[in-house]
A and B are shown apart, each in its own frame.
Chain A
Amino acid sequence: MGIAAQHISKQFGGFVALDDVDLDVPSGELTALLGPSGGGKSTLLRIIGGLEEADTGSVVIDGTDSTGVPAQRRNVGFVFQHYAAFKHLSVFRNVAFGLEIRKRPKAEIRARVTELLELVHLDQFADRLPSQLSGGQRQRMALARALAVEPKVLLLDEPFGALDAQVRKELRDWLRRLHDEVHVTTVFVTHDQEEALEVSDSLVVINHGRIEQVGSPNELYDNPRNEFVMSFLGPVTQLNGAMVRPHDIEILTADALGSVEATVTRIQRIGFEVRAELQGGASQPWVQLTRGQAEALDLDVGSVVWLRPASHASTLLPVG
């Protein structure tokens, strides 16, 4: 069940967007496709939704082979980055669109749309035109529209990409809670690692048309398979030639086994957080501490300290 895409390849002209990709999305989960722009994640989503045709490979949705099935018969819900609101239709008619296409009885449509508009908190905006809504409201309308047809899977292509930071954060929480209520198999594309880590049950990191790693957010954050995944999911610094997260470095006041001597070159306070830049041997690591830790260590520019990765830290030796 869920979604199984196998051996998917896609080229645009000479540009390889996807290179023999296999993806399994478990039923009922919320999966994020994460990666830089142009890495192929949106193309993969569009292929699953039938909006793009793969050069090779197969897509199985909910146990049915959907390869070659046109988008209008896949019964997937798709949400677009720029909302794709039907500008000439009211909010109500937008949400009702898929049901009208399916020629459902009027009463059923009215009931279902009303229910969905309540779910996305747009019940008092039913008669407005999309142009009279804010970006966040439009995207909620688009979500209700996609959910109205009771899709087998819900696909979201950078759904919060066009919204400002505050609304983004709200909608993120809201999507998570919505998914916990509706439990439809959901795939969403994002290039924002914080968003992916916060919202998803499982994460698929895609770059240069290939899947770099698949796993739960914690797995990927703690045990990245390679340099790219590690640096894409969070801040990274170098200590003694190894890659390590700046909050996973211990600062010691005395030499200890496996530690490196370093001198503090700069201290920067950002709210509760303190960032210390150091010069240690051949590398210039930076360390992330809380204010309390920094005060306890009595750190100052010129202080000589010893650094070592914390015992739980994941480190990675860069290749090449």
Chain B
Amino acid sequence: MPSQLVRSRKARWSLRYLAIAYVAVLVVVPVGMVFGRAINQGGQAFVDAMTSPDSLHAFQLTAIVAGSAVVINTVFGIVVALLLARYRFPGKRLLNVIIDLPISVSPIVVGLALILVFGFRTGWFGPTLRNAGFQVIFATPGMILATSFVALPLVVRELLPVLQETGLDQEQAARSLGATALQRFRRITVPTIKWALAYGVVLSIARCIGEFGAVRVVSGNVTGKTQTVTLLVDQHAEQFEGGAYQLSVVLILFAALCIVLISFIRPAGARR
């Protein structure tokens, strides 16, 4: 859409190239260089980085932690979005505000907060949980909690506007036609929110796989035990070991895949 505001070609071009240059210097060139380094180190380095026992374990752990957190947040997100859109109850506005809180809390503070409650020496519930034989901090459950925390609002925030805009007409029509609550959810609600849900889930997956700070604090970062892929990248980079660039390339490609998916989901959702 050409604009009247910037009529002179010179002004328009300078704005355009300023924007492109800024994004290039900040994003494109650095990302490209990581690819360059990974390619320079050759195919064998790539294979080694992917197949080392530490990497394999890290991939597995990331899948477990991010997978669990995404499932938890998806269920939680659907429940809370339905509650906020369709019911009235005391404290509703407060709930609406608290849902957003995790987005603006530093991942490091998230980790600290979880240690203070679940830490097995001094945490509020730590000793009790330890006596019950249940370890949260420095173990997978704590990492799942930390990851759930940082990605908490993503699904809710995608679903809520769709549910609010759709209203209750279709639900009521289905009710008058004899559909039970479960049938209504499966046949009416899910098809209505599916694109927003897909969008929120992809965002959550990207966010959960990439989580670093909070997981670093609660995991204890033990190689081969509590080390996710992002933690392993950090270790390789700080210790000047090989593998950081190769793992990064995989993560960048995964992030790019998420963005591409999102760019397909967004218009599909908007068409509805």
The short answer to whether A and B are in direct contact, CB under 8 Å, is: yes
Chain A residues closer than 8 Å to B187, beta-carbon distance: 86, 97
- A80-115 contacts to B (CB < 8 Å): 80, 82-89, 97-98, 101-102
Asked if A78 and B178 sit within 8 Å, CB to CB, the answer is no
Chain B residues closer than 8 Å to A76, beta-carbon distance: 176
Contact of B191 among A75, A88, A142 (CB under 8 A): A88
Chain A residues closer than 8 Å to B175, beta-carbon distance: 50-51, 70-72
Q: Say yes or no for B250: interface residue by CB 8 A criterion.
A: no
Chain A residues closer than 8 Å to B183, beta-carbon distance: 101
Q: Say yes or no for B237: interface residue by CB 8 A criterion.
A: no
Contact of B176 among A49, A83, A87 (CB under 8 A): A49
Q: Say yes or no for A146: interface residue by CB 8 A criterion.
A: yes
Query: Given the complex of chains A and B, what is the CA–CA distance between A51 and B175 in angstroms?
Result: 8
Q: Which of B59-67, B123-131, B165-173, B196-204 contacts A (4 or more CB under 8 A)?
A: B165-173
Chain B residues closer than 8 Å to A149, beta-carbon distance: 177-178
Asked if B192 and A87 sit within 8 Å, CB to CB, the answer is yes
Chain B interface helix/strand/loop/mixed = helix
Asked if B176 and A51 sit within 8 Å, CB to CB, the answer is yes
Chain B residues closer than 8 Å to A50, beta-carbon distance: 175-176
Most B C-beta atoms less than 10 A away, residue of A50, A51, A142, A149: A51
For B179, the closest partner residue in chain A by CB is A101
Asked if A97 and B174 sit within 8 Å, CB to CB, the answer is yes
Given contacts A72-B179, A72-B180, A101-B177, contact A51 B188 (CB under 8 A): no
Chain B residues closer than 8 Å to A85, beta-carbon distance: 170
Asked if B170 and A146 sit within 8 Å, CB to CB, the answer is no
Asked if A86 and B174 sit within 8 Å, CB to CB, the answer is yes
CB-based closest 5 A-B pairs: A98-B177, A84-B169, A78-B176, A84-B173, A88-B191
Question: What residues make up the interface of B, taking CB atoms closer than 8 Å to A?
Answer: 169-170, 172-180, 183, 187-188, 191-192, 272
Q: List 6 A-B contacts (CB under 8 A).
A: A73-B178, A82-B169, A83-B169, A84-B173, A85-B170, A98-B178
